[in-house]
Amino acid sequence: MRSSKTIHVISAHAEGEVGDVIVGGVTPPPGDTLWEQSRWIAKDNSLRNFVLNEPRGGVFRHVNLLVPPKDARADAAFIIMEPEDTPPMSGSNSICVSTVLLDSGIIPMREPVTEMLLEAPGGLVKVRAECKNGKAERIFVQNLPSFAAELDVPLKVEGLGTLTVDTAYGGDSFIFVDADALGLKLVAEEAHKIAKLGVQITNAANKALRFHHPDNPDWAHFSFCLFAGKVARNGNDLRAGAAVAVQPGKVDRSPTGTALSARMAVLHARGQMGLEDSLTTVSLIGSTFMGRIVGETTVGGKPAILPEISGRAWITGTHQHMLDPSDPWPEGYRLTDTWGAR
């Protein structure tokens, strides 16, 4: 087999959401910080196209690039590449990366608990992994500080009228809509409808509203729409359905760790969740993430929480992505049947 490029990948999924990890074949991108490196990848697009576009990728895939950390305190660093964005942080991807690092032996596993400090483009995240028989069985991630932005905001969406939405940050930026108000039960059969509506709502929000992160002016858009199910409380245990629409038009198969972080921030801001509570969110395929608030802080003077999320991931295979020099589509291709109309 001839190839002008070979990229080594360990594939994984976290509670259903694919998060592949590039472990070799790619040199670190230029940049003095991890954020600058991620901006270079986002602007250059050649690596994103190669691994995310068909025939090697697809709208369902996220890919993470392992790079040497810029912060000397970190054990490893990763840059997240999602179908449309190269974000500050991702819950499901951080769980996949942690699992790959430990299960593959890149970072030595210590049973019953391994602790790591990982560097994401948005900052450092603490990881605690429950390990048994050579397997990282559950990953706990102390996510980036998360905050409620604007609550109960009217948003006009063509065909839907005026919705009341919340905006929040949980390592990425969100529009929240009430699933019940839209007549959604958050079941697998609604996935296509949720994906289509979510992109429509996100696009409307990006036209009518503006997201502002006090410490990161580069991140000034809404990435996702969370269809939030009703919260049920049993003592200190909270539980809710969750479906997140991802650009350009898919539903996260996991409950979405950044959405869980952002939702805890909103519940905390409303006085509906405290440090003694936990929140379990349930995806369309029935998988779950669990979250809790481990502390309070501020982001640019804005009240914020320190969220911890947890979930499981599994390695699904290893791959060598190659490029035959005669391939007429060296960076792949996208069609609107799955990638959505632009």
Catalytic pick among 3, 11, 46, 90: 90
**Residue 277 to residue 293: CA distance in whole angstroms:** 8
**Residue 9 to residue 100: CA distance in whole angstroms:** 10
The bridge status of strand 161-169 relative to strand 147-148 is: antiparallel
**Residue 53 to residue 55: CA distance in whole angstroms:** 6
Beta strands in the chain (DSSP E): 6-14, 17-18, 20-24, 63-67, 76-81, 113-120, 123-132, 135-142, 147-148, 153-157, 161-169, 173-178, 224-228, 232-234, 237-246, 250-251, 278-282, 288-299, 302-311, 313-322
- The verdict on whether 90 is a catalytic residue reads yes
- Helices 257-269 and 91-103, axial angle in degrees (round to 10): 130
Tokens of 32: 């003095």
* Catalytic positions: 90
